[in-house]
Chains A and B, each alone.
Chain A
Amino acid sequence: MNGYLNIVLHAHLPFVRHPEFEDFLEEDWFYEACLETYMPLLSMFERLHNDKVPFKLTMSITPTLASMMKDSYLMGKLERRIYKLMELIDKEKKRKKDTPFYESILMYEKWIKSNLNVLKQYDFDLTEGFKRFYKSGNIELITCNATHAFLPFMQVLPKLVEAQVKVGVDSFKQTFGFAPRGIWLAECGYYRGVEEILAKNNIDYFFGETHCIMYADEAPKYGVYAPMYTPNLVACFARDPGSSKQVWSAKEGYPGDFDYREFYRDIGFDEDYEYIKPYLHLDGQRRFVGLKYYRITSDSQDLGNKAPYNPSNAQNKVKIHAANFLFNRQKQLEYLNTIMDRKPIINAMFDCELFGHWWWEGINFLEEIFRQAHNVKEFGIEFTNANEYLSNYPTNQMSNLCESSWGYKGYGDVWCEGSNEWIYRLLFEAGIKMVEKATLYKNTKDKKIKRLLNQMARELLLAQASDWAFIMKTGTMVDYAVKRTKLHFKRFDTLLNFLEKKAVDKTFLETIEYRDNIFPKISFRVFSL
């Protein structure tokens, strides 16, 4: 055995749930991720389990995503979407019977039926599926801070960081029934001192960007191929840049292969408008519906010149790429073995939605990795997770780590630049007020005050999500991100006014409790001093 491979998938979406609207576009983020990533992932686990292929990986499922995965309103809408897609696939099957697209349609038919089975198998609660494979020892589940706030920018008020971490841990326990040993700090955002808060919450390890370890105060003896302890002995496992790039990069990595499915060519834009209209949103705007019949074909940007997708050819490429990935890891581990006095660990860390949603064949790629590693012993790769590695190697280097993130340029630039820096004063003031009021009322027995403060806590946590700043920066969905940020501030402020004036508009409170129903068991006291 040459060493260990720890595949880490970070599954996250911001809390987007709008029951106040019959139809809401941004909820698509969740439905698409379920249909193309989370449910196919569970089906893949099932296949490996049935075929007795040993597999092991780590998944961080964020509290916001977990709460959506078990939300009956969203899951009901997901089911309706599945039936709608089934109807469309049925029509497509008849229309495209003798065309080069028919094999793709059969692929989509299998995919949608499999998704429906997953939905029913886990009784409309996908967290149950992941829990099942945790119990079987195949996946290590870890949590994330509550709403994916970028913690380095909150370090001036440690109580806010504490609340993010504690609510993240508590919410995980309520969902999965056990305490997490590891955490994914949102955006891999690490700052010195956060480990004190992690330790208080019984977190033993977290995942960091490469330079979190590489640029520590003392030179890293093992590079990123062993964990490094913080001064209070919370372990950091850092990302291996080589294995990440091969999978992340559309230009140099696997997902850009010409035989793989083209993401941007979708029948939502290609088909006759009247035909496709019933499958669009109520606004009637052309959008992706999820059925795509073309392959990448070339590196040309011209979507009109794409060739038909061939699922069999793509699957063959998946096998080749999985073998290449494992071969490269084998060579990497063999080299590391010549310079290390212990078995190295490679942490291959990815955004979970990369697989399936962005890279359609990505789930099959993961499956092939596990199958080939099992069948070809020469690779000498053993899959592991952070828990197991720490048990095998409890002695590690200890140092002050480097503040870092996995965002562009490796620090905080993505979440603090011209488009989004305006939010930080507001977050700070709301945070101060929350801590002040939570401390003032921490012994209150007044149910109305507790209810108000609990909802204030939810609104603040939702406003803190790093996603809004990220979206503002990328410039794609700025309007929604700005509105969401302001909306949560405004709701927080309104509730604060109620509290200060001791006069509650019950209808308002009930309405936003219904809309922002995340963390039903939250106690505002997580913010008290």
Chain B
Amino acid sequence: MDGLNIQLNEQEYVESIKYYSGTYWQQVEDTSIKECFKTARFIAYAVNPTDIFTFWECDEKYHGRLFIRLFDITNIDNFFENKFNWYRDIFVYNYCGRYRINNLLPSANFVLQLGFFSQDKFVRLLQSNFVRMPNNSISTNTNIKMATKVFDKFKKASISVEHIEHFNFGYLEQPTKTSIGVIK
């Protein structure tokens, strides 16, 4: 983000000013809520280019011996348990919980499995959705596609792609604060 980042923490501060006052809201309605649902679930998503947040629930009988197996499947078309780049096991204990996995690679693809070990063999219980990590740098791919979208004069009619053309440009410079982020 260097070179692009404005001081977003200041923006966040300004936004929070909208919500400054204290509360004396009296509790009149019951707001007790359950956090586990007796439903098998395993969901994951990228929070930023290096972190995945995940939550899960499985049968209570596995409580205390659960692991998440994180598979890196970047550039792998069809994921099978024997087709991946690498995996990592994370002990998570709870049958119903949440976890944040850090230090992953930007632009990579992952899938997670929840399971336990039986005689040193990982037994899968649940598999998550696939997760693609966001990019965090300017691409080195300079093969540019241009497209045209045509509007009629009322700007309401259906639209069409006129053409897509490809061309390259040679000189790419990482923008800095002074070069205002434009590629020459």
Q: Is the CB of B15 within 8 A of A351?
A: yes
User: Per-residue CB proximity of B170-182 to A under 8 Å, as 1/0?
Assistant: 0010010000111
Q: Is the interface of B mostly helix, strand, loop or mixed?
A: loop
CA distance A405 to B33 in the complex (A): 30
Q: Answer yes or no: A339 CB below 8 A from chain B CBs.
A: yes
CA distance A339 to B27 in the complex (A): 60
Which stretch (B34-42, B60-68, B86-94, B108-116) binds chain A?
Answer: B34-42
Contacts of A245 in B (CB 8 A): 6-7
CA distance A136 to B48 in the complex (A): 42
Most buried by B among A210, A215, A220, A422: A215
Q: Is the CB of B147 within 8 A of A422?
A: no
**Chain A 248-298 residues near chain B, CB threshold 8 A:** 248-252, 263, 283, 285, 287-288
Most buried by B among A216, A218, A225: A218
With A211-B1, A249-B6 as contacts: A217 and B151 at CB distance below 8 Å: no
- A-B residue pairs in contact (CB < 8 Å), sample of 18: A29-B21, A210-B4, A215-B135, A221-B183, A241-B5, A244-B6, A283-B24, A339-B182, A395-B147, A403-B46, A410-B5, A416-B53, A425-B55, A470-B15, A470-B16, A479-B25, A486-B32, A487-B29
Please classify how large the interface on chain B is, using the bins under 10, 10 to 19, 20 to 34, 35 or more.
35 or more
Which stretch (A118-126, A301-309, A386-394) binds chain B?
Answer: A386-394
Q: Is the CB of B180 within 8 A of A332?
A: yes
Q: How far is the CB of B106 from chain A (nearest CB, A)?
A: 9
With A156-B129, A483-B31 as contacts: A241 and B47 at CB distance below 8 Å: no
**Chain A 320-341 residues near chain B, CB threshold 8 A:** 332, 335-336, 339-340
Contact of B180 among A153, A223, A426, A487 (CB under 8 A): A223
Contacts of B147 in A (CB 8 A): 229, 233, 395-398
Q: Is the CB of A223 within 8 A of B175?
A: yes
Contacts of A402 in B (CB 8 A): 134-135
Q: Answer yes or no: B121 CB below 8 A from chain A CBs.
A: no
**Chain A 455-482 residues near chain B, CB threshold 8 A:** 467, 470-471, 474, 476-477, 479-480
Specify the chain A residue showing the minimal Cβ separation from B20. A476
Q: Answer yes or no: A498 CB below 8 A from chain B CBs.
A: no
Q: Is the CB of B180 within 8 A of A395?
A: no
Contacts of B8 in A (CB 8 A): 406-410
Which stretch (A352-360, A365-373, A374-382) binds chain B?
Answer: A352-360
Q: How far is the CB of A511 from chain B (nearest CB, A)?
A: 9
Q: Answer yes or no: A429 CB below 8 A from chain B CBs.
A: yes
Q: Is the CB of B45 within 8 A of A155?
A: yes
**Chain B 111-168 residues near chain A, CB threshold 8 A:** 129, 132, 134-151, 155, 159, 161-162, 164
Q: Is the CB of A339 within 8 A of B184?
A: yes
Interface size on A, residues (CB 8 A): 102
Q: Answer yes or no: B81 CB below 8 A from chain A CBs.
A: no
CA distance A218 to B169 in the complex (A): 11
Q: Is the CB of A33 within 8 A of B28?
A: no
**Chain A 395-421 residues near chain B, CB threshold 8 A:** 395-399, 402-404, 406-414, 416, 421
Which stretch (A20-28, A40-48, A52-60, A99-107) binds chain B?
Answer: A20-28
CA distance A477 to B161 in the complex (A): 48
Specify the chain B residue showing the minimal Cβ separation from A474. B16
Q: Answer yes or no: A224 CB below 8 A from chain B CBs.
A: yes
Contact of B32 among A26, A428, A490 (CB under 8 A): A490
Contacts of A426 in B (CB 8 A): 33, 35
With A215-B136, A412-B46, A421-B98 as contacts: A428 and B41 at CB distance below 8 Å: yes
Q: Answer yes or no: B23 CB below 8 A from chain A CBs.
A: yes
Contacts of B129 in A (CB 8 A): 156
Contacts of A233 in B (CB 8 A): 147, 149, 159, 161
Q: Is the CB of A218 within 8 A of B25?
A: no
With A26-B23, A407-B8 as contacts: A398 and B145 at CB distance below 8 Å: yes
